[in-house]
Amino acid sequence: MFKRPSFKSLAQTTIEDLFASAEIRLGGDRPWDIRVHDERFFRRILTGGTLAFGESYMDGWWDCDALAEMCCRAIRARLEERVALNPHTALAFSASLLFNLQSRNRAGVVAKRHYDISNAFFECMLDPAMQYSCAWFRGTDDLAQAQREKMDLICRKLGLNEGTRLLDIGCGWGGLAKHAARNYGCHVVGITVSEKQRSYAAESCRGLPVKILLQDYRDLTERFDRIVSVGMLEHVGAKNYRRYMRTVFRSLRDGGVFLCQSIAGNWPSAYTDPWITKYIFPNSMLPSAGQMAQAAERLFVLEDLQNLGADYEKTLLAWERNFARSWNRFEARYGERFYRMWRFYLLSCAGAF
């Protein structure tokens, strides 16, 4: 009896060697090792980069028990930079150079594709105040308490008092506006480009001195004592950072204070990971600290800088646990591919932090 020998393809060898450089084994038994279920995986990753990596997970071609840890190792080893330039990355880079992907006409795309998924869905994933940004875990492991601590930190830094007029740019579901009005006596205007967020926030803040508007930041005409922006700058884009800062400056009274919380990259970037752009946050872009500072030059005096990034891993893992616990409520509506997509989003981002 004769048996034909099995040979690994060049694509398989290349991908195995690539992950091995990050201490990740394909077919290994450690929690962060990858189990490949479809041999087409290797060529798909080699030609499609990070977009193909995320899509192949969505399609069930591979699994990993410790997805966040695996992504952490892959990102630390910069594996995405070692895969040959592919059409998806080249297209994303070219589009960012040629077009303003965060123009007024495009501003509502991320709302329709992401924030308007379902208020009930986000209620199950987030804390009761519906904060969709990094919490501040100080003396607690409870997500709700950590988000309250973060909101109080923001309010204290802004120096809010009774009667302060506060503008919340990208106010989300109104949690911070409600907190500032209820606990600090502020009069708040919140703006969002998401219709579902606007409706939810308006109802949540009913009876408080809070007004929620469906409005682009470029259309601001009023002036305020304080302005806050939480998780908004990631949707502004490099071509618009200076205009954003000029708009805030124009909308702030003399002596006023602007607080901006944003996820920031370690270096300037012109485009976002193709998978995140396609499936999670269309037209998004992470600013660097340098880009933010440069955009604010000759407008603002930088008074304070604080990094909460270490807490974002805990925040994302808490969201993933809430999502997994609640999935049975949404499984019939969204299906298995959405479940894997959302899990990959939350855990890969946790790994990045």
Q: Which residues are catalytic?
A: 349
Residue 300 Cα distances to 56, 82, 174, 237, 293, angstroms: 45, 39, 26, 19, 9
Q: How do strand 62-63 and strand 224-230 relate by DSSP bridges?
A: unpaired
C-alpha span between 313 and 292 (Å, rounded): 23
Max distance between CA atoms of the chain, in angstroms, equals 89
Q: How many CA atoms lie within 13 A of 328 on its CB side?
A: 1
Residue 103, exposed/middle/buried by CB under 10 A (0-12, 13-18, 19+)? Answer: middle
Q: Residue 342: phi, psi to the nearest 5?
A: -70, -40
Q: Provide the strand spans (E) within the chain.
A: 35-36, 62-63, 165-169, 187-192, 210-214, 224-230, 252-261
